[in-house]
Amino acid sequence: MKKFTVLSMLFTVLLILGACGNDSYEEKAEDKIWDSIQESGELVVGTAGTLYPASYYPEGSDELTGYNVEVFREIGERLGVEVKFETMAFDAMLSALQSGRVDMIQAGPREASREKFAFSEPVKHSFATMIVRADDLSGIHTLEDLKGKKAGGAATTVYSDIARKFDAEVVTYGNVTNDAYLRDVHNGRTDTVINDYYLQSLAIQAFPDFNITLHPDLKFHPTTNNVVVQKDATVLLGKVNEIIAEMKEDGTLTEISAEFFGGLDVSKEPEEEVIEIEGIE
């Protein structure tokens, strides 16, 4: 019995030491990404560069700007590092983050991505709507009317998942500018673009000659946009969440939002009644 007790105690000690060793390793891993950013003095951010007003180049300018971009710049400034942007298609952003090519992106949290990445508190609240042809709403009066329609979008977004859920055909694009999506609805190559309400409401204003409009009745799938980092970047994520809280408290997010969203404050949850879609994250 005494021998068994000694062995049990020894086994327990080994477990404790092993756990301590794991904690030490995890702590070191958690600090590694932030340490690398501090050492280089540079935060590498993945962004589209083609989506007005979130991330785009103004006409005649080679200076990237937009709501997402300026939020990143403010975060970088408060972290005390320079921000370097790498433009890429949305479908490439998560893989670039996972590989370490970039340190940070913005996206909405989904169950699959939550398992691989860490998400900050929201920097933007919104919901989805559709761009349709103005003369007949592309024949879409309910979400069920998407069946058999063609919806333009990136392959891996939640908006394309919504289109597929209602049996629409998703027509995918690379990292193209808004006019490519909108022109295709206008000329009938596609029937709709499902996307963020605020982004779409501003995008169509840039193309007044197109036969397109925001759907007047359909508001669905509330969403958030969050800063996304690697799963083990807990030190970096903690600092980013502190900065986001400060930016909400001091009005910085509201000011940036007003600049790019026509005076609207996307940092606050919308008051509109928004349809929840079962089975869509």
Q: What is the SS3 assignment for 207-231? A: CCCCCEEECCCCCEEEEEEEEEEEC
Look at residue 10 and tell me whether its pLDDT is greater than 70: no
| Separation CA 66–CA 47 (nearest Å) | 10
Amino acid type, 233:
A
The CA angle 273-212-217, to the nearest 5 degrees, is: 20
Domain 32-124+225-260 has CATH 3.40.190.10: yes
C-alpha neighbours within 13 Å on the C-beta side of residue 205: 10
User: What residue spans in the chain does CATH classification 3.40.190.10 cover?
Assistant: 32-124+225-260, 126-221
Instruction: Tell me the pTM.
Output: 0.76
Which region among 27-36, 171-180, 191-200 has the lowest average model confidence (pLDDT)? 27-36
Amino acid type, 249:
E
Q: Which two tokens stand for residue 196?
A: 């963020």
Q: Is the distance from CB of 33 to CB of 236 less than 8 angstroms?
A: yes
Q: Is the distance from CB of 187 to CB of 133 less than 8 angstroms?
A: no
Each residue's pLDDT tens digit, 218-251: 999 999 999 999 999 999 999 999 999 999 999 9
Quote the pLDDT of residue 96: 97
Burial group, residue 279, by CB count within 10 angstroms (0-12, 13-18, 19+) = exposed
Q: Which residue has the higher pLDDT, 177 or 58?
A: 58
Average pLDDT over residues 91-105: 94
CATH class assigned to 126-221 = alpha beta
Q: Which residue has the higher pLDDT, 202 or 190?
A: 190
Average pLDDT over residues 80-100: 94
Each residue's pLDDT tens digit, 14-67: 333 344 444 443 444 456 999 999 999 999 999 999 988 999 999 999 999 999
Q: String of b and e for 127-147 (b: at least 16 CB within 10 Å)?
A: bbbbbbbeeebbebeebebbe
